[in-house]
Structure 1
Amino acid sequence: MSETDPLTPSAPDVARRVFSVERLPLAERYAALLATDGVVRGLIGPREAPRLWERHLLNCAVLADLLPEDATVCDIGSGAGLPGLVLAIARPDLRVTLVEPLLRRTTFLEEAVAELGLEQVEVVRGRAEVLHGERRFDVVTSRAVAPMERLLGWSMPLVDPHGALVAMKGSSVAEEIEASAGVLADLGCAAPEVHILGEDLLSSITVAVRVTWAEPARVSWPMAQTPPRRAAPSRTKRKQRRNE
């Protein structure tokens, strides 16, 4: 991996409130890896490098507030390690599995894990489905992977009966939850909870949705995959189609 680039943005003061004194140096090294190797390998856009802390590291780190102590975490579609690798840096008590199908990304993740000495992190090359029926986790995380309808089908088969899906979402989270009502019911999920994180810390808040099982005692494996229901097109999309 590359050495720290002089153009890598230094950690802002707020990072010292998000990462502990012991873990902040690791976060800084990871930021340097993203700004150098991450950009060169096409995992992070060049324009993202100057704002890595605000838009990526801190944004992901506050998700740790929703994770219980000593939890097993599966981060699906991990990409460059967001949020999974950031959570592992911020919370050494977590045991994190990074799941990513693309070789160039898993290669980066394996090298980053080795360089940062994160012994509690493993990297699995593949899609979430490869672990269905094989493993379960206390928490399944993701960031910008898919709309809720599809994300539920990939994530919930990995969630322990008393665990939760904890996904980073955007401003349209309410619409996504509404569109996924049928899938939530079919899978036996409880009503989703929306959490706003980082309000008193970050310039840009983090929106997360948390989904648990409605009746943990009735959850069993292997779980039959429930095909996602196709949502009706939004009003905007209907207008676009009429104008095409």
Structure 2
Amino acid sequence: MTGSTERHPAPASSTSDPASATGTPPTPTADEARAAEQVFGSRVDLAQRYVEHLATSGIERGLLGPREVPRLWERHVLNCAVIGELIPFGVHVADVGSGAGLPGLALAIARPDLRIELIEPLERRVQWLGEVIEDLGLEQVRVHRDRAENVAGSIDVDVVTSRAVSALSTLVPWSMPLLHGSGRMLAIKGRSAADEIAKAEKAIRRAGGVDPRVLTAGQDLLPVPTTVVAIDAAPSRDRSTAARR
């Protein structure tokens, strides 16, 4: 597959209009609505439209399972958007294995100050992402139909995000090269995050990663805060030493 930066086509009327696809967008609970107001602020309507896309065309095209619809706000969109509290203002972000735009599109809505590169190899997902970006007017987002390891030479970012892509030992070699020795990797993980770090110790060192640790985001907003593995990129002068350890 050759890498390319996708231009976002105009949404196709038969699939990109939430009202024309199967599925009913969930209404947020009172707690979810309060959290959404805090996370998305004046852009909460964009978050609602994104949820509509997920619940309709996203389900129709197989990006999410139908059983996820009732949990879209808390488990997916808010769960991802809150990691914005771990990202500095105005930086450049790459989202590896974007799929349904989680966390990349959720971050783009919550944090318009970020420049975001969505990296996704599957054409049908790239097409859907482009349609949603076009509909929501997210001009700071670009989509690359490729694998992370293929675009590392042309993309240099400050933060790399991911969610439900692969085990950490596999994900680290894909993600760290995008940082080019400066920045941080943030991988949304579950309860086994600490165990994954232990198993990936060698892969982290070889990829030039340092100080792997488990962080949480959304502590005061979500019933279950988001668990994140954070790994810093070692400066290039320190990489060879770290790799030999």
TM range, smaller chain: 0.7 to 0.9
Q: 1:35 to 1:18 in 2, by over 3 A?
A: same
2:104 counterpart of 1:97: no
Match of 2:102 in 1: 82
Aligned to 2:72: 52
Identity of aligned residues (%): 49
Q: Deviations over 1:46-85 (max 9, x none)?
A: 1111110011010001010111111111001000100001
Aligned-partner Cα distance in 1 for 2:39–2:110: 8
Q: Given residue 3 of structure 1, which amino acid in structure 2 is its aligned partner? A: P
Post-superposition shift, 1:86?
0.4
Quick one: structure 1 residues 6 and 142, their matched pair in 2 at CA, closer, same or farther if it must change by over 3 Å?
Answer: closer
Map of 1:130 onto structure 2: 150
Partner residue of 1:157 out of 177, 188, 206: 177
Amino acid at match of 1:164: R
Q: Distance in 1 between matches of 2:66 and 2:172?
A: 32
CA RMSD of aligned residues (A): 1.8
Asked if 2 retains the 8 angstrom alpha-carbon contact of 1:147 and 1:176, the reply is yes
- Is the partner of 1:210 in helix, strand or coil? strand
Partner Cα distance (1:217, 1:151) in 2: 20
Contact 1:140 1:165 in 2 (8 A): yes
- SS, match of residue 135 in structure 2: helix
SS at structure 2 position matched to 1:191: strand
Q: Identify unmatched segments of 5+ residues in structure 2.
A: 1-15
1:210 aligned partner = 230
Tell me, in whole angstroms, the C-alpha distance in 2 between the residues paired with 1:84 and 1:105.
Answer: 13
Quick one: distance in 2 between partners of 1:128 and 1:39? Answer: 25
Determine if the alignment matches structure 1 residue 72 to structure 2 residue 92.
yes
Partner letter of residue 8 of structure 1? P
Shift of 1:189: 1.7
**Bigger-Rg structure (1/2):** 1
Alpha-carbon offset, residue 120 of structure 1:
0.4
Q: Residues 129-182 of structure 1, C-alpha deviation per residue, up to 9 Å, x if partnerless?
A: 111222211011000111111111000000143311111011111111001111
The one-letter code sitting in structure 2 at the alignment partner of 1:2 is D
* Equivalent-residue separation in structure 1 for 2:238 and 2:134 (angstroms): 36
Give the secondary structure class of the aligned counterpart of 2:221. Answer: coil
In the alignment, which residue of structure 2 is the partner of 1:9? 26
- 1:2 deviation in Å? 1.9
Of the candidates 179, 196, 199, which is equivalent to residue 176 of structure 1?
196
Distance between the aligned counterparts of 1:143 and 1:165, measured in 2?
Answer: 11
Structure 1 consecutive aligned stretches of length 4 or more whose deviation exceeds 4 Å? none
- Report deviation, 1:200: 1.6
Spell out, residue by residue over 1:207-243, the C-alpha distance to the aligned partner (whole angstroms, 9 max, x if none).
Answer: 00111123x15279xx9xx9xxxxxxxxxxxxxxxxx
Q: Distance in 2 between matches of 1:183 and 1:44?
A: 30
Q: How many residues align?
A: 220
Q: TM-score scaled by structure 1?
A: 0.85
CA 1:143–1:6: 2 relative to 1, 3 Å? closer
**Does the aligned pair in 2 maintain the 1:10–1:28 contact within 8 Å?**
no
Contact conserved, 1:27 with 1:89, CA < 8 A, in 2?
yes
Using the size of structure 2 for normalisation, the TM-score is: 0.85
> What is aligned with 1:37?
57
Structure 2 distance, partners of 1:40, 1:107, is 13
Name which structure has the greater RCO, CA cutoff 8 Å, separation 6+: 2
Shift of 1:18: 1.6
Task: State which of 118, 121, 127 in structure 1 corresponds to 2:138.
Answer: 118
Tell whether the 8 Å contact from 2:24 to 2:56 is kept in structure 1 after alignment: no
Task: Read off the aligned partner of 1:10 and give its amino acid letter.
Answer: T
